[in-house]
Structure 1
Amino acid sequence: MIVHLINILAVVFIFGVLIISHELGHFWTARKCGVKVELFTFGFGPKLFGFKRGDTLYQVALIPFGGAVKLAGEDGYGKEEPKGDEYFAKPAGQRALILIMGSVHNLVLGFLVFALVFILGIQTVNYRQPLVGEMQPGFPAQSVGIKSGDLITRVAGKKVTDWLTLSKEIHRYPGQEITLEILRGKEFLNFKVIPKIETIKTAQGQETVGLIGIIPSVTREKFGVIPAFGRAGKETFRVAGLIFYYLGKLFTRELSTRELAGPVGIAQMTGQFVQTGWSGFLYFLALLSVNLSIVNLFPFPMLDGGHVAGVLIESIRKRKPSRRFLEISQTLGFGLIILLALFVTYNDILRIFSRKM
């Protein structure tokens, strides 16, 4: 019961931090550009509570998985003479900046949280050596006497120098007896083992492989403040690059759309990362923040990137698109996003129940 409560609070915390950070980017930039902010809300649905300070109403709504900033005059598109503190009274450059800064805030948040993770220390898996960390109960490695700290040097006579090579070699022998040469301390030992036959998911589908139930060793690595920020910068760019990499895989059908995760899947993953400790949980927060910053800038109606594209088109054509065009594009965009949300939620639920069967 307590574990479930912690997981729920963790989910609300993650969504809250991501949404508030994003909306603050819009909020502060709008204020700096002289645009009146009428509403700053966290969540959607029925209002729980709120207060007004200056021109802005701050409120919290029932469902904590959304948020919004309402700018003065943003619904008055097409008015001939918008007031000076209204959104459409500002030049295209300022409007684009207001739209972009939500994503910039998420990107900066991801970078800062990555830096914090590296300062606190992060567990890193040692793939550089074929060094055994743990054994899985019920698998052959434990039953034949392999121990944590053993260094596997040969599989069926073939030399292995890293974890990837070790895994590939063991995978080749499902249900077949093989000999493992192991260095324990200063002594070389030989163990005969029959890898368990298992079916695993790969990018190409399903594959039958041999598994002996060993897990690579894990070390905790800490960084000083300056190196941590350097590492955080590299990690931020790496994660951003992976988004485009996997999108490319989706378009070329090398990656199934069933792998897409929605709110339910994110909530489930949050619970899993909570179990790994603070570093793992914060890393997941940073990962989501960078993802949100990039995806939200895609030139798609209803996303900030779609609005930025509209502002750019307006600047190039020297005139605003018609109100009718905007209404149609917004409606289509909203419909597609709802369909995508339903699709990924269906994937999430299907994934959860299929694992329980």
Structure 2
Amino acid sequence: MRWRGRQGAPLISVVVPVFDVEAYLPACLDSVLAQTHEELQVVVVDDGSTDTSGAIADAYAARDPRVEVVHTDNQGLGAARNEGLRHARGTFLAFADSDDVVPPAAYATLLRQQQRTGADLVTGSIVWWYDDPDGERQVQPPWMKRLHATRQAGIIDQMPELLGDVFAWNKLYRRDFWVSVGLSWPVGTRYEDQPTLTEAYLRARRIGVVPDVVYQWRIRSDGSSITQQRASLDDLQDRWATKRTSRQSVLDYGSSKVSKTFQDKVLPGDLHRYFVLIPDCDDEWYAVLESGVREFFGARSLVHSGLPPMHRLTGWLVEQGRRDDAALVMRFLRDLPRGEWAPRVEDEHGRRIDVPGLAAGSVPRAALALRDHER
């Protein structure tokens, strides 16, 4: 059923999964309810919270009829989002995580681009919102700014790097598109955004892009968010699982251009966050890391990837089973003063990186070479 609110404005259903976020939930709900697009159904799914989050949500529902609260047993983020979708009535769907904030004009901006282009989904840029003890600051990731540089619309073949924007919550989706292609969120795994978003991009008849910042992603200073728990074995295994599912979707799509971009620029995108853990990891964790790197990059090495130079080198060393050298490189990078690059040297082939203690002659030139923009 299509639902249209006052003055013909389309209803947007915003699904907000909640679990033990009493300190952050009011700011999130206040930001959603303060949208300049007022025709909203805000479905808050209390996923078995053990703090006062559920009561906070109920209080919002008591004073604003746009808020509906569903209380469930704890089943995880994917299941909570799916539960919220079962209650959604809007023509359009959006998602917000309960510790983040949505800028006031976000949904109006996304909706305007959808109505201009007829897109099945529209995506905008984000900022990282750091709530450090020294004060709050917001940073727009350079790669997100690049992916959303211009206001445009098209199919994924025309902008395949967009597959790297795998977030659920900086987007607006046509509900009939979501239902018709059978989208849902994986249950029981971390990083559930990537498989679903990959499928959405590949199935969309038209994708809209706006350069505006439409989401503020809180990076918690206490390290308690899911994406800050990478040192655990379960986290790494879930990361490989979601990459595996997403890669298969891309391969099934059958575009060589999209597949190559996904392999070189999207699939490796977050590996640097794991490589930095190599110096202090245990044997079991490293074995899973190496196994995954070989699985995904054994046929086409990470030296071809869009990773920074030191991480391309580390990727090659992991591919070759050279754990001690990989740890040496990452330890050296970790100890560099903030903002300082690894040493560059000139040889008969041009400029390359140089890591003290690593025998350059034991590493192929491709793993050490600097690209034009890196020199």
Alignment TM class, shorter chain as reference: under 0.3
Between Structure 1 and Structure 2, the one with more helix by share is 1
